[in-house]
Amino acid sequence: MADSQPRILILGAPGAGKGTQSARMADHFDIEHVTTGDALRANKDMDISDMDTEYDTPREYMDQGELVPDAVVNAIVEEALRQADGFVLDGYPRNLEQAEELEGMTDLNVVLQLEVGEDELVHRLTGRRMDPETGDIYHLEYNPPADEEVEERLVQRDDDTEETVKERLRVYRESTEPVIEHYEEEGVLETVDGEQSPDEVWADVKGTIEDAA
């Protein structure tokens, strides 16, 4: 790995543990953790006036509460990857078109999928609770607060109810399954069992990256 930092794509449904594992990768391999949200926020004043879009900057879409068009997201991700020596990309590509765009932007060393069953994902996501005073996120089973006072004021976010979670997972599968199949057909997809403990998942993730690089 001495010659260059790894370029990693991580895929997985909401609740699969991408954030936790990406943070460990970024720290261990000294690479950037690139998420679409962070890249958008970092480049929201980027000049996109030459792109024949409704607005001249991503900020205007965000301020209007509108979805930033794919072409703009692609340009922002490309810029974020260009600036990074090595990276773990998380939250992109969300569809096949973006996966094809990504191929023109960079050569990936590893495409990782964290595989977690539907029931476990629902269990993880519906068990999440937020402290309305601090914004801290807990889990009733995996990460309860030590302080009883905090426990009493925890609330469930609207997007963590069972109905919403199942809809989020359905949308994820519909748009991202083709992306996973695409990398499988290319013979580059590495699958890690995401239902293990975070430390066991990390051991597999780290080993997979080291083998590939």
Instruction: Give the active site residue among 41, 157, 170, 173.
Output: 157
Among residues 7, 24, 129, 168, the one annotated as catalytic is 168
Note if 168 is an active site residue. Answer: yes
Short-list 41, 40, 66, CA closest to 53? 66
Q: Looking at residue 67, what DSSP letter applies?
A: P
Catalytic residue among 7, 24, 128, 129: 128
DSSP state string for 101-163: HHHHH---SEEEEEE--HHHHHHHHHTEEE-TTT--EEETTTB--S-HHHHHH-B--GGGSHH
Whether 128 sits among the annotated catalytic residues: the reply is yes
Full DSSP string of 157-207: -GGGSHHHHHHHHHHHHHHHHHHHHHHHHHT-EEEEETTS-HHHHHHHHHH
- Of residues 44, 59, 94, 166, which has the active-site annotation? 94
Based on the residue annotation, tell me whether 18 is a catalytic residue of this protein.
yes
User: Radius of gyration over alpha carbons of the chain, in Å?
Assistant: 18
Evaluate whether 108 touches 7 at the Cβ level (below 8 Å).
yes
Residues in the chain: 213
Which of 18, 24, 124, 129 is catalytic? The answer is: 18
170 included as an active-site residue: no
Is 94 tagged catalytic? yes
Residues known to be catalytic: 18, 94, 128, 157, 168
